[in-house]
Amino acid sequence: MKTLKVLDLFAGGGGFSTGFLQASYPDINFEILRAVELDQAACDTLRSHIGEDRVIQGDITTTEVKEEIYTSCSDVDVVIGGPPCQTFSLAGPARSGTAEMRQKLKDDPRNTLYKHFFEIVDRIKPVFVVFENVEGMLSKKVDGAQELNNKQAQVIELICDELESKGYKTGIQDSISDRFQVLNAVQYGVPQNRKRIIIIANRLGMDNPRLDPTHGWDDKPFLTVKDAIADLPVRLPKISFARLDSLKNIDVIKNNYKASLLTFMNMLKDLAIKEVHCKQSEGVMELYSSLKEEYELIKDKKTYKMYNLKKFIEKYNELILKYSVNQFRDSQELCNHQSREHNFRDIIIFIKTKQGSNSARFMNHESDDYDRFLDSLYPYSRNKHKDTYVKHSWNKPSNTILAHMEKDGLKFIHPEQPRTLTPYEAQLLQSFPKEYVFQGGRNDQYRQIGNAVPPSLAKVIGESILEMSMRFEKINGVQAI
Protein backbone atom coordinates (compact mmCIF):
# COMPACT_ATOMS: atom_id res chain seq x y z
CA MET A 1 0.00 0.00 0.00
CA LYS A 2 1.42 3.35 -1.06
CA THR A 3 1.08 6.22 1.43
CA LEU A 4 1.12 9.97 0.88
CA LYS A 5 2.43 11.88 3.89
CA VAL A 6 0.38 14.92 4.94
CA LEU A 7 1.23 18.09 6.86
CA ASP A 8 -1.88 19.76 8.28
CA LEU A 9 -1.30 23.46 9.04
CA PHE A 10 -3.74 25.44 11.21
CA ALA A 11 -5.16 22.02 12.00
CA GLY A 12 -7.74 23.09 14.61
CA GLY A 13 -9.76 20.17 15.92
CA GLY A 14 -8.79 17.93 13.02
CA GLY A 15 -11.54 18.14 10.41
CA PHE A 16 -9.19 18.24 7.43
CA SER A 17 -7.02 15.43 8.82
CA THR A 18 -10.02 13.27 9.67
CA GLY A 19 -11.38 13.54 6.15
CA PHE A 20 -8.02 12.71 4.57
CA LEU A 21 -7.66 9.66 6.80
CA GLN A 22 -11.13 8.55 5.68
CA ALA A 23 -10.22 8.93 1.99
CA SER A 24 -9.85 5.66 0.13
CA TYR A 25 -8.54 4.65 -3.27
CA PRO A 26 -7.08 1.31 -4.44
CA ASP A 27 -3.50 0.75 -3.26
CA ILE A 28 -2.96 4.27 -1.88
CA ASN A 29 -3.92 6.25 1.22
CA PHE A 30 -2.83 9.13 3.46
CA GLU A 31 -0.81 9.36 6.65
CA ILE A 32 -0.96 12.49 8.81
CA LEU A 33 2.73 13.06 9.46
CA ARG A 34 2.25 16.24 11.50
CA ALA A 35 -0.58 18.58 12.48
CA VAL A 36 0.34 22.12 13.57
CA GLU A 37 -1.93 24.12 15.86
CA LEU A 38 -1.64 26.88 18.48
CA ASP A 39 -4.78 26.35 20.59
CA GLN A 40 -4.31 24.11 23.63
CA ALA A 41 -7.72 22.41 23.56
CA ALA A 42 -7.49 21.75 19.82
CA CYS A 43 -4.02 20.23 20.28
CA ASP A 44 -5.40 17.97 23.00
CA THR A 45 -8.12 16.86 20.58
CA LEU A 46 -5.55 16.18 17.85
CA ARG A 47 -3.32 14.21 20.21
CA SER A 48 -6.21 11.98 21.25
CA HIS A 49 -6.92 11.07 17.62
CA ILE A 50 -3.64 11.07 15.67
CA GLY A 51 -1.09 10.61 18.45
CA GLU A 52 1.02 12.71 20.78
CA ASP A 53 4.15 12.70 18.60
CA ARG A 54 2.32 13.91 15.48
CA VAL A 55 1.16 17.24 16.94
CA ILE A 56 3.26 20.40 16.86
CA GLN A 57 1.80 22.95 19.25
CA GLY A 58 2.92 26.52 18.77
CA ASP A 59 2.81 29.75 16.82
CA ILE A 60 3.43 29.04 13.14
CA THR A 61 4.89 32.53 12.64
CA THR A 62 7.86 31.78 14.92
CA THR A 63 11.22 30.50 13.73
CA GLU A 64 11.21 27.77 16.38
CA VAL A 65 7.96 26.19 15.16
CA LYS A 66 8.94 26.52 11.51
CA GLU A 67 12.26 24.79 12.14
CA GLU A 68 10.46 21.93 13.87
CA ILE A 69 8.19 21.63 10.83
CA TYR A 70 11.12 21.65 8.41
CA THR A 71 13.01 19.05 10.43
CA SER A 72 10.11 16.59 10.80
CA CYS A 73 8.33 17.16 7.48
CA SER A 74 11.08 17.39 4.88
CA ASP A 75 9.61 14.44 2.96
CA VAL A 76 5.95 15.43 3.18
CA ASP A 77 3.86 14.90 0.01
CA VAL A 78 0.79 17.03 0.75
CA VAL A 79 0.29 20.26 2.68
CA ILE A 80 -3.28 21.09 3.66
CA GLY A 81 -4.67 23.97 5.67
CA GLY A 82 -7.03 26.86 6.09
CA PRO A 83 -5.21 29.89 7.54
CA PRO A 84 -7.55 31.94 9.76
CA CYS A 85 -8.57 35.13 7.97
CA GLN A 86 -10.89 36.89 10.37
CA THR A 87 -12.04 39.83 8.26
CA PHE A 88 -12.84 37.63 5.27
CA SER A 89 -15.82 36.07 7.05
CA LEU A 90 -19.34 36.93 5.89
CA ALA A 91 -20.56 36.75 9.50
CA GLY A 92 -19.68 38.63 12.65
CA PRO A 93 -18.13 42.00 13.55
CA ALA A 94 -16.04 42.25 10.38
CA ARG A 95 -19.28 42.89 8.52
CA SER A 96 -21.59 44.36 11.09
CA GLY A 97 -19.58 45.68 14.05
CA THR A 98 -18.48 49.16 14.99
CA ALA A 99 -15.95 51.07 12.90
CA GLU A 100 -13.39 50.54 15.68
CA MET A 101 -14.03 46.78 15.67
CA ARG A 102 -13.77 46.59 11.90
CA GLN A 103 -10.43 48.45 11.97
CA LYS A 104 -9.16 46.19 14.74
CA LEU A 105 -10.02 43.13 12.67
CA LYS A 106 -8.45 44.67 9.58
CA ASP A 107 -5.21 45.07 11.51
CA ASP A 108 -5.49 41.56 12.99
CA PRO A 109 -2.20 39.68 12.31
CA ARG A 110 -4.24 36.54 11.62
CA ASN A 111 -5.13 38.05 8.26
CA THR A 112 -1.54 37.56 7.08
CA LEU A 113 -1.13 34.00 8.31
CA TYR A 114 -1.59 32.70 4.78
CA LYS A 115 1.83 34.24 3.96
CA HIS A 116 3.43 31.90 6.50
CA PHE A 117 1.47 29.01 4.98
CA PHE A 118 3.15 29.66 1.63
CA GLU A 119 6.56 30.22 3.18
CA ILE A 120 6.36 26.69 4.57
CA VAL A 121 5.07 25.33 1.26
CA ASP A 122 7.98 26.96 -0.56
CA ARG A 123 10.51 25.42 1.84
CA ILE A 124 9.06 21.89 1.88
CA LYS A 125 7.91 21.78 -1.75
CA PRO A 126 5.21 19.10 -1.44
CA VAL A 127 3.72 17.64 -4.60
CA PHE A 128 0.20 18.72 -3.61
CA VAL A 129 -1.18 21.75 -1.77
CA VAL A 130 -4.77 22.22 -0.63
CA PHE A 131 -5.82 25.68 0.58
CA GLU A 132 -9.22 26.21 2.22
CA ASN A 133 -10.87 29.42 3.31
CA VAL A 134 -14.19 31.16 3.86
CA GLU A 135 -16.31 32.36 0.96
CA GLY A 136 -15.85 35.94 2.15
CA MET A 137 -12.29 35.87 0.81
CA LEU A 138 -13.79 36.35 -2.65
CA SER A 139 -14.63 39.94 -1.77
CA LYS A 140 -11.31 40.66 -0.08
CA LYS A 141 -8.96 42.90 -2.06
CA VAL A 142 -5.54 44.39 -1.44
CA ASP A 143 -3.80 47.51 -2.71
CA GLY A 144 -0.33 48.08 -4.01
CA ALA A 145 0.26 45.04 -6.19
CA GLN A 146 3.01 46.42 -8.48
CA GLU A 147 2.37 43.92 -11.23
CA LEU A 148 -1.20 45.19 -11.34
CA ASN A 149 -0.23 48.87 -11.56
CA ASN A 150 -1.29 49.48 -7.96
CA LYS A 151 -4.88 48.55 -8.69
CA GLN A 152 -6.84 46.50 -6.23
CA ALA A 153 -6.58 42.76 -6.71
CA GLN A 154 -8.55 39.88 -5.24
CA VAL A 155 -6.64 38.13 -2.47
CA ILE A 156 -7.75 34.75 -3.79
CA GLU A 157 -6.23 35.50 -7.22
CA LEU A 158 -2.97 36.63 -5.63
CA ILE A 159 -2.89 33.39 -3.66
CA CYS A 160 -3.23 31.41 -6.88
CA ASP A 161 -0.50 33.57 -8.45
CA GLU A 162 1.73 32.88 -5.45
CA LEU A 163 1.28 29.13 -5.84
CA GLU A 164 2.01 29.28 -9.55
CA SER A 165 5.15 31.35 -8.92
CA LYS A 166 6.36 28.49 -6.73
CA GLY A 167 5.92 25.93 -9.49
CA TYR A 168 2.39 24.73 -8.80
CA LYS A 169 -0.40 24.34 -11.30
CA THR A 170 -3.75 25.66 -10.03
CA GLY A 171 -5.79 25.26 -13.22
CA ILE A 172 -8.89 23.08 -13.07
CA GLN A 173 -10.03 20.42 -15.50
CA ASP A 174 -12.30 21.54 -18.34
CA SER A 175 -11.59 25.24 -17.82
CA ILE A 176 -9.14 27.71 -19.29
CA SER A 177 -9.48 30.23 -16.45
CA ASP A 178 -10.76 28.63 -13.21
CA ARG A 179 -8.13 28.26 -10.50
CA PHE A 180 -10.25 27.79 -7.39
CA GLN A 181 -13.59 26.23 -6.54
CA VAL A 182 -16.39 27.42 -4.28
CA LEU A 183 -17.91 24.29 -2.79
CA ASN A 184 -21.01 23.87 -0.67
CA ALA A 185 -20.41 21.07 1.83
CA VAL A 186 -24.05 19.96 1.61
CA GLN A 187 -23.30 18.67 -1.90
CA TYR A 188 -20.61 16.35 -0.52
CA GLY A 189 -22.43 14.42 2.19
CA VAL A 190 -22.42 17.04 4.96
CA PRO A 191 -25.86 17.77 6.53
CA GLN A 192 -25.12 21.48 6.47
CA ASN A 193 -25.04 24.39 4.03
CA ARG A 194 -21.46 25.61 4.21
CA LYS A 195 -19.68 27.33 1.33
CA ARG A 196 -15.91 27.34 1.25
CA ILE A 197 -13.16 28.24 -1.21
CA ILE A 198 -10.89 25.34 -2.14
CA ILE A 199 -7.65 25.56 -4.10
CA ILE A 200 -6.00 22.30 -5.14
CA ALA A 201 -2.51 22.74 -6.62
CA ASN A 202 0.11 20.28 -7.81
CA ARG A 203 3.67 20.12 -9.11
CA LEU A 204 2.87 17.36 -11.62
CA GLY A 205 1.85 19.74 -14.39
CA MET A 206 -1.66 18.26 -14.42
CA ASP A 207 -5.01 20.01 -14.36
CA ASN A 208 -6.53 19.70 -10.92
CA PRO A 209 -9.80 17.80 -10.46
CA ARG A 210 -13.12 19.56 -10.48
CA LEU A 211 -15.02 18.16 -7.50
CA ASP A 212 -18.40 17.02 -8.77
CA PRO A 213 -21.18 16.90 -6.14
CA THR A 214 -21.88 13.53 -4.55
CA HIS A 215 -25.27 14.49 -3.10
CA GLY A 216 -28.33 16.43 -4.24
CA TRP A 217 -29.76 13.89 -6.66
CA ASP A 218 -33.08 12.03 -6.48
CA ASP A 219 -31.30 8.79 -5.57
CA LYS A 220 -28.90 10.52 -3.16
CA PRO A 221 -30.53 13.61 -1.63
CA PHE A 222 -28.92 16.11 0.69
CA LEU A 223 -28.54 14.90 4.26
CA THR A 224 -30.73 16.71 6.79
CA VAL A 225 -30.63 17.67 10.45
CA LYS A 226 -32.88 14.67 11.10
CA ASP A 227 -30.43 12.32 9.40
CA ALA A 228 -27.64 13.58 11.62
CA ILE A 229 -29.07 14.00 15.13
CA ALA A 230 -32.65 12.70 15.40
CA ASP A 231 -31.64 9.44 17.08
CA LEU A 232 -29.78 11.10 19.97
CA PRO A 233 -31.18 10.93 23.51
CA VAL A 234 -33.12 13.97 24.75
CA ARG A 235 -31.16 16.69 26.47
CA LEU A 236 -33.10 19.31 28.42
CA PRO A 237 -31.44 22.53 29.59
CA LYS A 238 -31.03 23.78 33.09
CA ILE A 239 -33.06 27.00 33.44
CA SER A 240 -31.39 29.99 35.06
CA PHE A 241 -33.54 32.04 37.41
CA ALA A 242 -31.10 34.12 39.47
CA ARG A 243 -31.97 37.29 37.50
CA LEU A 244 -35.42 36.26 36.34
CA ASP A 245 -37.08 39.47 37.58
CA SER A 246 -34.73 41.68 35.58
CA LEU A 247 -34.92 39.83 32.26
CA LYS A 248 -35.91 42.17 29.47
CA ASN A 249 -39.59 41.74 28.54
CA ILE A 250 -40.17 39.25 31.34
CA ASP A 251 -43.40 41.18 31.99
CA VAL A 252 -44.73 39.63 28.78
CA ILE A 253 -44.29 36.22 30.42
CA LYS A 254 -45.80 37.51 33.64
CA ASN A 255 -48.84 38.92 31.82
CA ASN A 256 -49.22 35.59 30.02
CA TYR A 257 -48.31 33.52 33.04
CA LYS A 258 -50.70 30.57 32.68
CA ALA A 259 -50.32 30.37 28.90
CA SER A 260 -46.51 30.37 29.18
CA LEU A 261 -46.54 27.58 31.74
CA LEU A 262 -48.92 25.59 29.55
CA THR A 263 -46.64 26.11 26.54
CA PHE A 264 -43.76 24.68 28.52
CA MET A 265 -45.74 21.71 29.86
CA ASN A 266 -47.17 20.84 26.45
CA MET A 267 -43.66 20.77 25.04
CA LEU A 268 -42.56 18.36 27.76
CA LYS A 269 -45.61 16.18 27.20
CA ASP A 270 -44.95 15.98 23.45
CA LEU A 271 -41.32 15.06 24.07
CA ALA A 272 -42.30 12.50 26.70
CA ILE A 273 -44.78 10.74 24.39
CA LYS A 274 -42.29 10.67 21.54
CA GLU A 275 -39.35 9.50 23.64
CA VAL A 276 -41.25 6.71 25.37
CA HIS A 277 -42.41 5.53 21.96
CA CYS A 278 -38.86 5.68 20.57
CA LYS A 279 -37.35 4.36 23.83
CA GLN A 280 -34.59 6.94 23.67
CA SER A 281 -34.91 8.64 27.04
CA GLU A 282 -37.46 7.22 29.44
CA GLY A 283 -36.67 9.91 32.00
CA VAL A 284 -38.67 12.54 30.11
CA MET A 285 -42.00 10.92 30.97
CA GLU A 286 -41.05 10.66 34.65
CA LEU A 287 -39.95 14.30 34.60
CA TYR A 288 -43.20 15.42 33.00
CA SER A 289 -45.36 13.45 35.43
CA SER A 290 -43.50 14.78 38.48
CA LEU A 291 -43.42 18.40 37.25
CA LYS A 292 -47.11 18.31 36.42
CA GLU A 293 -47.90 18.18 40.13
CA GLU A 294 -46.06 21.46 40.68
CA TYR A 295 -47.69 22.94 37.58
CA GLU A 296 -51.19 22.15 38.86
CA LEU A 297 -50.41 23.90 42.13
CA ILE A 298 -49.29 27.20 40.61
CA LYS A 299 -50.92 27.53 37.18
CA ASP A 300 -53.96 29.54 38.40
CA LYS A 301 -52.14 31.81 40.82
CA LYS A 302 -53.14 35.46 40.47
CA THR A 303 -50.48 36.87 42.77
CA TYR A 304 -46.78 36.24 43.44
CA LYS A 305 -46.45 34.97 39.91
CA MET A 306 -42.69 35.44 39.68
CA TYR A 307 -42.17 33.76 43.04
CA ASN A 308 -44.18 30.76 41.88
CA LEU A 309 -42.41 30.68 38.54
CA LYS A 310 -39.07 30.51 40.34
CA LYS A 311 -40.33 27.61 42.45
CA PHE A 312 -41.47 25.87 39.28
CA ILE A 313 -38.05 26.35 37.66
CA GLU A 314 -36.28 25.12 40.79
CA LYS A 315 -38.40 21.98 40.77
CA TYR A 316 -37.71 21.43 37.07
CA ASN A 317 -33.95 21.84 37.59
CA GLU A 318 -34.04 19.23 40.37
CA LEU A 319 -35.96 16.80 38.21
CA ILE A 320 -33.72 17.00 35.14
CA LEU A 321 -30.88 15.85 37.38
CA LYS A 322 -32.98 13.17 39.05
CA TYR A 323 -34.12 11.71 35.75
CA SER A 324 -30.80 12.15 33.92
CA VAL A 325 -32.00 14.17 30.96
CA ASN A 326 -29.13 16.66 31.09
CA GLN A 327 -26.18 14.71 32.43
CA PHE A 328 -23.09 13.24 30.89
CA ARG A 329 -23.55 9.69 29.72
CA ASP A 330 -21.15 6.89 30.57
CA SER A 331 -20.25 6.46 26.91
CA GLN A 332 -17.32 8.62 25.86
CA GLU A 333 -18.88 9.62 22.56
CA LEU A 334 -21.89 11.21 24.28
CA CYS A 335 -19.89 13.10 26.90
CA ASN A 336 -20.24 16.35 24.90
CA HIS A 337 -23.98 15.96 24.37
CA GLN A 338 -25.10 18.31 27.13
CA SER A 339 -27.18 21.46 26.84
CA ARG A 340 -26.01 24.85 27.98
CA GLU A 341 -28.17 26.77 30.47
CA HIS A 342 -30.97 29.03 29.19
CA ASN A 343 -33.36 31.53 30.74
CA PHE A 344 -37.13 30.93 30.79
CA ARG A 345 -37.91 33.75 28.36
CA ASP A 346 -35.62 32.30 25.70
CA ILE A 347 -36.97 28.81 26.27
CA ILE A 348 -40.52 30.01 25.57
CA ILE A 349 -39.22 31.68 22.40
CA PHE A 350 -37.50 28.43 21.39
CA ILE A 351 -40.71 26.45 21.88
CA LYS A 352 -43.07 28.81 20.10
CA THR A 353 -40.85 29.57 17.09
CA LYS A 354 -41.80 27.36 14.16
CA GLN A 355 -39.32 24.87 12.79
CA GLY A 356 -37.26 26.44 10.03
CA SER A 357 -38.26 29.95 11.07
CA ASN A 358 -36.54 32.78 12.91
CA SER A 359 -37.17 35.98 14.84
CA ALA A 360 -37.06 38.16 11.72
CA ARG A 361 -40.04 36.23 10.43
CA PHE A 362 -42.06 35.96 13.63
CA MET A 363 -41.78 39.76 14.02
CA ASN A 364 -42.76 40.46 10.41
CA HIS A 365 -46.47 41.28 10.10
CA GLU A 366 -46.36 40.22 6.45
CA SER A 367 -44.94 36.77 7.20
CA ASP A 368 -46.99 33.61 7.65
CA ASP A 369 -44.84 33.00 10.73
CA TYR A 370 -45.84 36.25 12.44
CA ASP A 371 -46.65 35.74 16.11
CA ARG A 372 -47.89 38.67 18.19
CA PHE A 373 -46.78 37.12 21.47
CA LEU A 374 -43.26 36.42 20.22
CA ASP A 375 -43.10 39.86 18.65
CA SER A 376 -43.77 41.44 22.04
CA LEU A 377 -41.35 39.06 23.80
CA TYR A 378 -38.33 39.68 21.51
CA PRO A 379 -35.72 41.35 23.77
CA TYR A 380 -33.08 42.69 21.38
CA SER A 381 -32.62 45.80 19.27
CA ARG A 382 -34.60 45.82 16.03
CA ASN A 383 -32.39 48.40 14.35
CA LYS A 384 -29.76 45.89 13.21
CA HIS A 385 -30.09 42.16 12.67
CA LYS A 386 -33.49 40.73 13.53
CA ASP A 387 -32.62 37.08 12.96
CA THR A 388 -31.20 36.66 16.46
CA TYR A 389 -33.18 33.45 17.02
CA VAL A 390 -33.02 30.78 14.32
CA LYS A 391 -34.76 27.43 14.74
CA HIS A 392 -33.59 24.53 12.61
CA SER A 393 -35.83 22.19 10.68
CA TRP A 394 -35.67 18.41 10.81
CA ASN A 395 -36.18 18.07 7.09
CA LYS A 396 -33.49 20.46 5.83
CA PRO A 397 -29.71 20.65 6.12
CA SER A 398 -28.38 22.76 8.96
CA ASN A 399 -27.30 26.36 8.55
CA THR A 400 -23.53 26.90 8.61
CA ILE A 401 -22.10 25.76 11.93
CA LEU A 402 -20.08 28.67 13.32
CA ALA A 403 -17.48 29.07 16.04
CA HIS A 404 -19.79 31.84 17.31
CA MET A 405 -21.78 29.05 18.95
CA GLU A 406 -19.42 29.45 21.88
CA LYS A 407 -21.10 32.82 22.56
CA ASP A 408 -24.81 32.02 22.75
CA GLY A 409 -25.97 29.57 20.09
CA LEU A 410 -29.28 31.39 19.51
CA LYS A 411 -28.98 30.87 15.75
CA PHE A 412 -28.86 27.12 16.35
CA ILE A 413 -32.09 26.17 18.11
CA HIS A 414 -32.99 22.48 18.16
CA PRO A 415 -36.03 21.57 16.01
CA GLU A 416 -37.97 20.10 18.96
CA GLN A 417 -36.13 20.43 22.24
CA PRO A 418 -36.15 23.82 24.03
CA ARG A 419 -32.47 24.60 23.73
CA THR A 420 -29.61 25.37 21.39
CA LEU A 421 -27.52 22.60 19.86
CA THR A 422 -25.04 20.68 21.98
CA PRO A 423 -21.38 20.37 20.90
CA TYR A 424 -22.01 16.73 19.99
CA GLU A 425 -24.90 17.68 17.71
CA ALA A 426 -22.74 20.37 16.10
CA GLN A 427 -19.97 17.87 15.42
CA LEU A 428 -22.41 15.46 13.73
CA LEU A 429 -23.77 18.30 11.59
CA GLN A 430 -20.14 18.96 10.61
CA SER A 431 -19.92 15.25 9.59
CA PHE A 432 -17.38 14.26 12.25
CA PRO A 433 -17.59 10.56 13.20
CA LYS A 434 -19.87 9.68 16.11
CA GLU A 435 -16.93 8.37 18.10
CA TYR A 436 -14.85 11.54 17.65
CA VAL A 437 -14.30 13.34 20.97
CA PHE A 438 -13.37 17.01 21.28
CA GLN A 439 -11.28 18.06 24.27
CA GLY A 440 -11.59 21.19 26.39
CA GLY A 441 -14.57 22.99 27.84
CA ARG A 442 -17.85 23.50 26.00
CA ASN A 443 -16.73 26.79 24.44
CA ASP A 444 -13.48 25.18 23.29
CA GLN A 445 -15.49 22.42 21.66
CA TYR A 446 -17.85 24.79 19.86
CA ARG A 447 -14.89 26.81 18.57
CA GLN A 448 -13.04 23.76 17.26
CA ILE A 449 -16.15 22.37 15.60
CA GLY A 450 -17.26 25.67 14.08
CA ASN A 451 -13.84 26.38 12.58
CA ALA A 452 -13.33 22.90 11.16
CA VAL A 453 -13.33 21.69 7.58
CA PRO A 454 -16.18 19.14 7.43
CA PRO A 455 -14.51 15.71 7.23
CA SER A 456 -16.92 14.45 4.55
CA LEU A 457 -15.89 17.35 2.29
CA ALA A 458 -12.21 16.82 3.12
CA LYS A 459 -12.60 13.12 2.27
CA VAL A 460 -13.80 13.97 -1.26
CA ILE A 461 -10.87 16.37 -1.71
CA GLY A 462 -8.45 13.75 -0.47
CA GLU A 463 -9.80 11.06 -2.77
CA SER A 464 -9.43 13.38 -5.75
CA ILE A 465 -5.73 13.78 -4.90
CA LEU A 466 -5.22 10.04 -4.49
CA GLU A 467 -6.88 9.49 -7.87
CA MET A 468 -4.75 12.19 -9.52
CA SER A 469 -1.54 10.71 -8.12
CA MET A 470 -2.36 7.23 -9.43
CA ARG A 471 -3.49 8.62 -12.79
CA PHE A 472 -0.18 10.46 -13.19
CA GLU A 473 1.74 7.25 -12.58
CA LYS A 474 -0.41 5.30 -15.04
CA ILE A 475 0.01 7.93 -17.77
CA ASN A 476 3.73 8.57 -17.26
CA GLY A 477 4.91 5.21 -16.03
CA VAL A 478 6.72 6.84 -13.09
CA GLN A 479 5.75 7.52 -9.51
CA ALA A 480 4.16 10.89 -8.77
CA ILE A 481 5.85 10.92 -5.38
Q: Which of 43, 73, 85, 160 is catalytic?
A: 85
Distance CA 469, CA 473 (A): 7
Last residue of a domain, one of 376, 393, 410: 393
Which alpha helices (DSSP H) does 230-357 contain, by range?
Answer: 250-255, 257-278, 283-298, 305-322, 344-352
Pick the more confident residue, 352 or 384: 352
Q: What is the pTM of this model?
A: 0.91
Instruction: Report d(CA 453, CA 228) in Å as an integer.
Output: 17
**The pLDDT of residue 464 is above 70:** yes
Rounded to whole angstroms, how far apart are CA atoms 339 and 234? 10
Tell me whether residue 431 is in a domain. Answer: no
Same domain, 386 and 367: yes
Per-residue pLDDT band for 130 (boundaries 50, 70, 90) equals very high
Q: What is the pLDDT of residue 149?
A: 44
Answer whether residue 447 is part of any domain.
Answer: no
Of the CA atoms within 13 Å of residue 194, those in its CB half-sphere come to 31
pLDDT at 150 over 50: no
Q: For the ranges 9-23, 126-140, 460-474, which has the lowest average pLDDT?
A: 126-140
Please name which of 308, 312, 309, 318 lies closest in space to residue 283, comparing C-alpha atoms.
318
Question: Which residue among 354, 372, 393 closes a domain?
Answer: 393
- Do 11 and 135 reside in the same domain of the chain? yes
Helices (H), 33-136: 40-50, 63-72, 93-96, 99-106, 113-124
How many domains does the chain divide into?
2
Domain identity same for 207 and 243: no
Examine the domain organization and report whether 150 and 298 are in the same domain: no
Residue 175's pLDDT band (cuts 50, 70, 90)? very high
CB atoms within 10 A of CB 265: 18
What rounded mean pLDDT belongs to the chain?
89
204 and 149 belong to one structural domain: yes
Helices (H), 166-234: 225-229
Same structural domain, 265 and 353: yes
CA distance 81 to 201: 13
- 91: Cα separation from own chain's centroid: 13
Distance from C-alpha of 362 to C-alpha of 351, rounded to nearest angstrom: 13
158 and 283 both lie in a single domain: no
For residues 211 and 278, membership in a common domain is answered with no
Asked which of 377, 393, 409 is the last residue of a domain, the reply is 393
pLDDT bin (cut points 50, 70, 90) of residue 97 is: very low
For the chain, the 3-state helix, strand and coil shares in percent, each to the nearest 5, are 45, 15, 40
Question: Is 335 a catalytic site residue?
Answer: no
Domain membership of residue 139 as a residue range: 2-225+452-476
437 in a structural domain: no
Residue 302 lies in a domain: yes
In this structure, are 287 and 356 located in the same domain?
yes
Q: Which residues pair with 324 in a beta bridge?
A: none
